[in-house]
Structure 1
């Protein structure tokens, strides 16, 4: 059963639509619009989407932004960088946009899409830093390929990351984390700062908590964390 759409979604969206990323039609996509997956067939204008003063600044990408706690915190930490948040659930993304609007996070842009198209949505060598926070673990073996740290996704990230670009990944799910460690290594990434208890580590000093993270840690769950780089 699909969740019921939030009331007044369009009216609310109209009040924060300046936070939407600008897109251009992807000339490589030959599918008619009615057959496209969510977000497919478009390319984000990563310069035109931002104010001129930061159009050449580093680009930080979060895939699966949730309600916006992390991306808004990131905006305060890096106010002169470009921040892009991708989210599939429209009502969740709307809440994140409203949070950023309320906090005046002017350097954040949003786009609704499926993560499978990230390598066609963004140009090659365009992303400086990529964040994967508490992604769906897809626990069944038959759905492992849908995990955002599965090798097919990591190959997509390689395309859009700049040389020596960096991925930050954290999750409370230990089986997903163990799986991810193997996948990153198989894909040729170098791992750094691998940690099985982020909140009791030196990396916690620079950590920005997500909504899920606050909830999980309050219940006593430990947070797993890693950084990954790939030299082209």
Structure 2
């Protein structure tokens, strides 16, 4: 769906301390941005921010960074973060293909990938955020034994991702084809997750640990 341009979004974001407009300047310096040594968790494609704002609110001893490309989406994530008055969340506009340009070695302790584009055409598979090509990039800044948590409603993407993680040297420590009927606790829902599950769609979920 094409988003209508919101010309007011970027100025609003530029005035906020929760948004990092030039993230490349903080490569290797994210702890200085948060002014503490707490672990940093990253959400790729944070959308309108329900997930990351709730994570930040419920986990004050962890720092969170949310990335999304469109100002028109990210500005709503910013408002959710501000509404909850959380100090441990930062948002940044970025094309995820350039992710290695903003993080240094061992800088991130966990990645969340929630309902990313499944790119169903075979010729487009390499654009998937769980594809081996992306996983190799994440490994350049993930700490040893860090985890990637992945949720999707797309079965083909999920099953392909199981193989991508194995190919890239990750250990699958948890996986389910029906998250909401599983024994997994403390799940925080995203906007898409609530929408899909309300229609009876099953949510698939896995945790992969970097060896």
TM-score under structure 2 length normalisation = 0.94
Do residues 156 (structure 1) and 140 (structure 2) align?
A: no
1:181: which partner in 2? 162
Give the Cα–Cα distance (whole angstroms) in 2 for the partners of residues 172 and 218 of structure 1.
12
1:133-148 to 2 correspondence within 5 Å? 133-148=114-129
1:47: which partner in 2? 31
2:47: which partner in 1? 66
2:174: which partner in 1? 193
Inter-CA distance 25–129: structure 2 relative to 1 (3 Å threshold): closer
TM-score under structure 1 length normalisation = 0.85
Deviation at 1:49?
1.7
- Which whole-Å deviations, capped at 9, do the CAs of 1:206-227 have from their partners, x for residues lacking one? 1000000000000000000000
Decide which structure has the larger Cα Rg and report it: 1
Inter-CA distance 210–165: structure 2 relative to 1 (3 Å threshold): same
RMSD value, Cα? 1.8
Inter-CA distance 67–207: structure 2 relative to 1 (3 Å threshold): same
1:209: which partner in 2? 189
Give the Cα–Cα distance (whole angstroms) in 2 for the partners of residues 67 and 10 of structure 1.
15
SS state at 1:202 partner: coil
Give the Cα–Cα distance (whole angstroms) in 1 for the partners of residues 145 and 19 of structure 2.
28
Deviation at 1:9?
2.2
Q: Which runs of 5+ in 2 are unaligned?
A: none
